[in-house]
Structure 1
Amino acid sequence: MRTGTTARGIAVTGAALLALTACGGGDEGTTPAAEGGGGDGEKQVNVYGTDGNMGNALGESFTEEGALAGMRGTTPLTELGSEFTDRLLEIDPALEDFNYAGETYDAIMISAIASMLAGSTDPAVFAPYINGVTFGGETCETFTDCKAIVDGGGNPDYDGISGPLAFAEAGEPSVASFGILQFGPDNAIASDETDFVLAGDEANAASDEGPAPAAPGATSDDPLVIGTLLPQTGDLAFLGPPEIAGADLAVQEINEAGGVLGQPVQLIQRDSGDTSTDIATQSVDALLQENVDVIVGAASSAVTRTVIDKVTGAGVVQISPANTSDEFTTYNDNGLYFRTAPPDTLQSRALADLIIEDGANTVGILARNDSYGTGLAENTVENLVSSGLAEDSIELVIYDPTAANFDAEVQQMVDLNPDAVVVIGFEESARIIDGLNAEGVGPARN
C-alpha cells in the first residue's frame, strides 16, 4: 500500500496537451503551457476544476468545440475497473459518469457489515462498529466475503470499491484515491487520460475497532432500512445517477447474499435538492417517518449542513458518499456522522501537487461561497504555500454562486495574469469558464 501523495507521470503530459489542444493544435513553434505561452506568444493559462464541476455535465453547457480542451482537475475517484462499471450500467444503462458511485456503494456496504457485527439494526448499537469495519481484522472486498467472516466469528476489514477506506477517528478516510480528470477537444472527460493519485496516510486510521462483535448467527426481526438523500435536482444533479446506481447495486448484492441479520435490506430513495430549496429538509422528514436506520447522503456539504443536526439528533446514522468539507471532521454529531468521501484536506493536497508539478508560479482561485468552496479553497492555498509558492502569488476570490454574472471575478483573473486558474464550483462554473475564455485566460483560445 502506497501512502503519502503520489502523482504518476501527469505533469508534463498534461501541461503539453493543454497547450496543444487549447491553442488549436501542435503547430511548429508552439510553446507548452509550463514553459510560458502559446504559439502566438500569448501566455497559456492552465485551468483546473474539482469534484463539483469535473464531469461531462459541464461540457454539455458548451457548444463550441474545444471550449474545455485540456482543463484538468481532481475528484475523489479510484480506478473502478470494467467489472464494477458494467454492473452499474446494468442498473442504469444511461450512466455517463461514475463519480461517487463507489463511495455510495461502500457507504451502504459498511453500514450493513457494521449492523451484522453488532447483531442489531438499531443505529445507536451499530454506529460504534462502523470505523472498525474499515481497518484491522481480515481483509474482505465483497459483502459475501465479509459476511462469511462475521458468520465465522471473525473481524472483517472491508477494503471497498472506493479504496482502502481505513477510517480515522472522525469517521472518514485517512487515505484516499483521487482521479486527475481531463476534458478532451469534444468537451467531454477523456477517460483514457485519467490518472490516479493517493493522498493521506493509512497510518492515521483510528485504532479503536469498537465493541466486541455479537455472537455469530444473530438475527433480527427488524430489517435494516436505508434511506438515500442524493441529488435528483439542483446544482449537483449530475452526481445523482451514479450515486443512486451505486446504492441500488449495493442493496441488490447484499440481498442476493442473504441480507442483513436474516432480513432483506430495504432502500428508500429521496431527493436532496440544493441549498436554494427546502427539498432536503422535507426528504429527511419523510425518511425519518419511514423509520430509516441510515441516511446515505447528502452529496453537497452545504446541504448536509442544513440537515445533519436533524438526522443525528433523531439517533439515525448519516454516512455521506460525497461530503468533503473539513468542517465535519470535528462536528458535534453524537458519533453518528460518517463519510466515505475524503475531506478537503486530502483533495487540496492532490490539487496543489498537480498545480505545482505543472510549473505554476502565480495562481488565481475562484471559489463559490459555501462550506465546500471556501473550505477546499483555503486548504488549497495552505498546501500551495507549504509547497513553496509565495502567499502574494496566490489570489483567492470568493464569489456568490447565485450572482447574475461573474464579470468582476473574471476581470480579477485577467488583472492577475496568472499561470493557473482554479474554479471551485458547481453548475455556475460553466458561466465562469465561458467568461475566462472570452478574456483569453480560460482553457480555450479565440
Structure 2
Amino acid sequence: MEQQSAPEAPPTPAPSKGKGMWIGLIVVVIVIVVLLGAVFGGLLAPPATTVPQAVYHVGYPGDAIKYLPTVWTNRAQWTAKWFFSEGLRDQGFVDQLKAAGVNVSQIVGTAPTTSQDPAILASETIFNQNYTTRFGDRTVGLFASQAYDGIFVMALAFAKANTTDTSSAAWKQAMRDVSNPPGTVIRPTEWAKARAELAAGRDIDYVGASGAVNFDQFGEVGSDYEVWGVNSTGKIFQKQFIAEGSWLPAPRPAPAVGTRSDIGPHPMALPVKIGTILSMTGSLGLYGPDILNATILAQEEINNQGGIWGGQLTMVHDDDATNPTTGSTVASKQINTDQVNAILGSLASSVSQKIYEVAKPAGIAELSPASTSPIFTTLDTVDLFWRTAPSDALQGKAAALYAYRDAGWRKVSVFNINNAYGNGLGGVFASDFTSRGGQVLRSVSYEPDKTSYDSELGTLFTPVVARAPPARVSRPEDGVP
C-alpha cells in the first residue's frame, strides 16, 4: 500500500489587537478598584476616639450632689478620675456623697491653704482654738478664716484712717498699711495690742488666720495651695502642699508696702456698721454657717477689747441664697436702709459681682472672703473691691501643675458651672494645662439649680476623635522634658 502523509494542521490564528487591549483594560480596572477599596475603606472606617483620663470639676455642692452619684453609678463606662476645685471642699458635702454610695476615697482636689511659715501657722492655730472654743468642737470650714481676717483687717483700717468713709483715700491706704509689712506683727485676737500700736503712731502688720493678708495694688492676696483628698474614714485631709509661685514663670505682683501711722494721740470714737451677705442657703449653703460664725467671732473680740476707739462694731447679716439677684437686692437694702459702712460678701463670684455693681456707685467697699474669679482683678478700678481669698488665676495654674506633673494626666475634660467662678477657673486651668502639653478634650458648662444634668453628662463623656497633642511649652517646674 502506498503511505500517505498526514495533513498539515491549520495555523493558529494570532490574537487580535482589539482583544488584547480589552484584557489590559480589565486588569487596570481591577487594580484601580482594589486601590480605591483600600483608600475608601480606610476613610470610611470609624475614626480612632479617645476619652479623658480625668475631669476637672468646678462647681458647688448643691448642684454636684445631684449628678455625682449618677457618675459613680456609671463608672464602668465613665472611667475618668474626678478632680475637684475648692468650691467642693466641704466635709458636709463629702458626707452626703458617702451616704449616696459614692466611694469618696477616690476624690482629689485643690484649694487655698495656709502657708507652712511658722509665723503664719501660729496665727492659724490661735484662730482655730478660739473658733472651736466659741462654737464647739467642730471643723473650721473653708473660707471661715478668710472671713475672720476680712472683718479684722477692715476694722483695723477704720481705726487707722479714723473715718467710716471707705471711698476715701485715707481708708484705702490704711487697708494696705495695716496688712502689709513693715510693722509690729498683729495676730488674731490681738485687737488691744493693735490699737495701742496705732495710737502710739507705730506701724502694724496684720498676719491673719488665713495667711499673710498682704494686699497688692489690686486689693488681692497670694496663697499657697493644697491637693486634698478623702481618707478611708471619709474625712478630708491634705495630700500635698504646693507653695505659692511654684507654678508661675513670674511672681505675683509685689504687695504694697505699709506707711507710718498718722493716727493722733486722741482718735475719735468710731461706731462702724458692717453688713455680711453670705450664702446660708442655695448651692453654697453648706459653707455659710461656718463663715458667718467667723465674722461674729471677730466682732466679739474687737468689741470686747474696746471697739474702734471706743465705738462699737455692729453687724447686719443677710442671706443671698447663692443667687445674684438676691445678692443685689440685699446689698441695696444694707446700703440704703441699714446704712452699712462696708460689706463682707459674698461667696459666689457671680453674687459678689452683683453686690459690687450696687456698692460701687454708693462708695461702699466690698470685701469677699471666698470669691475667686479672675474677673475682679480688672473689674475694680477704684479700690472698692477687696478679697482675702486668692484669685483663681493662681489656683488654675496650681491645679494644672498637679494634673500634668504629679497625676501624669495628658488628656482631660473640664466640667464647670456657667458663672464667673466656673468659667474663670475652668478657663485658666484649661489654658495652663494645654500650655504644658496636655489636651483638653471637652469643656462643658452647666447651669446651676437644675433638677437633672443627664444631658450635660452625656456630652461630657461622649468620646472625642483622637488628635495630636498641642506643642508643649517648656516648663521647668513640670520636671519632665
Settle same-fold status: TM greater than 0.5. yes
TM-aligned CA distance change 1:109 to 1:97, over 3 Å: closer
Deviation at 1:326, TM superposition (A): 0.8
Which residue type is aligned with residue 118 of structure 1? A
Aligned to 2:433: 384
Which residue type is aligned with residue 183 of structure 2? E
1:287 aligns with 2:334: yes
Aligned to 1:375: 424
Within 2, Cα distance between the matches of 1:131 and 1:241?
Answer: 28
TM-aligned CA distance change 1:204 to 1:52, over 3 Å: same
Partner of 1:261: helix, strand, or coil? coil
Q: Deviations over 1:224-269 (max 9, x none)?
A: 2111111111111111122111101111122222211222211222
Q: Deviations over 1:74-126 (max 9, x none)?
A: 22232765542232123333744520011001111111111122122222331
1:199 aligns with 2:244: yes
Deviation at 1:177, TM superposition (A): 2.5
Aligned residue runs from structure 1 range 349-428, under 5 A: 349-356=397-404, 357-390=406-439, 393-416=440-463
Within 1, Cα distance between the matches of 2:320 and 2:113?
Answer: 22
TM-aligned CA distance change 1:95 to 1:268, over 3 Å: farther
State which of 83, 86, 93 in structure 1 corresponds to 2:129. 86
Which residue type is aligned with residue 348 of structure 1? G
Aligned residue runs from structure 1 range 76-115, under 5 A: 76-78=112-114, 82-93=125-136, 95-115=138-158
Aligned residue runs from structure 1 range 183-262, under 5 A: 183-186=230-233, 188-191=234-237, 193-200=238-245, 204-207=253-256, 209=258, 213-262=261-310
1:52 aligns with 2:87: yes
Aligned to 1:181: 228
Q: What's the TM-score, normalizing by structure 2?
A: 0.71
Q: Identify which of structures 1 and 2 has the higher relative contact order when contacts are C-alpha pairs closer than 8 Å and 6+ apart.
A: 1
What percentage of residue pairs aligned between the two structures are identical? 24
1:135 aligns with 2:173: no
Tell me if the contact between 1:65 and 1:185 (Cα under 8 Å) persists in the aligned partners. no
TM-aligned CA distance change 1:326 to 1:264, over 3 Å: same
Aligned to 1:70: 106
Q: Deviations over 1:382-433 (max 9, x none)?
A: 121233324xx44211122244422233234433489xxxxxxxxxxxxxxx
Tell me if the contact between 1:162 and 1:177 (Cα under 8 Å) persists in the aligned partners. no
Aligned to 1:24: none
1:306 aligns with 2:351: no
Q: CA RMSD in A?
A: 2.8
Which residue type is aligned with residue 74 of structure 1? T
Q: Deviations over 1:251-290 (max 9, x none)?
A: 11222222112222112222122227x4323322332222
TM-aligned CA distance change 1:84 to 1:416, over 3 Å: farther
Partner of 2:286: helix, strand, or coil? helix
Comparing 341-350 and 328-337, the one that deviates more: 328-337
Aligned residue runs from structure 1 range 14-53, under 5 A: 45-53=80-88
Q: Deviations over 1:271-319 (max 9, x none)?
A: 122227x432332233222221111001110111222121122111110
Which residue type is aligned with residue 326 of structure 1? P
Within 2, Cα distance between the matches of 1:165 and 1:70?
Answer: 33
Tell me if the contact between 2:285 and 2:322 (Cα under 8 Å) persists in the aligned partners. no
Tell me if the contact between 2:176 and 2:258 (Cα under 8 Å) persists in the aligned partners. yes
Aligned to 1:120: 163
Unaligned residue ranges in structure 1 (runs of 5+): 1-14, 16-40, 419-446
Within 2, Cα distance between the matches of 1:198 and 1:118?
Answer: 34
Partner of 1:415: helix, strand, or coil? coil
Within 1, Cα distance between the matches of 2:85 and 2:353?
Answer: 20
Unaligned residue ranges in structure 2 (runs of 5+): 1-52, 54-75, 116-120, 466-481
TM-aligned CA distance change 1:182 to 1:139, over 3 Å: farther
Q: What's the TM-score, normalizing by structure 1?
A: 0.76
Within 1, Cα distance between the matches of 2:348 and 2:358?
Answer: 16
Tell me if the contact between 1:67 and 1:185 (Cα under 8 Å) persists in the aligned partners. no
TM-aligned CA distance change 1:304 to 1:411, over 3 Å: same
Aligned to 1:36: none
Aligned to 2:33: none
Tell me if the contact between 1:119 and 1:218 (Cα under 8 Å) persists in the aligned partners. no
Aligned to 1:19: none
Q: Deviations over 1:140-193 (max 9, x none)?
A: 1324343333122122221211111221211011x213232212345x4333x4
Deviation at 1:202, TM superposition (A): 7.0
Number of equivalent positions: 373
TM-aligned CA distance change 1:102 to 1:196, over 3 Å: farther
TM-aligned CA distance change 1:221 to 1:152, over 3 Å: closer
Tell me if the contact between 1:227 and 1:287 (Cα under 8 Å) persists in the aligned partners. yes
Partner of 1:58: helix, strand, or coil? helix
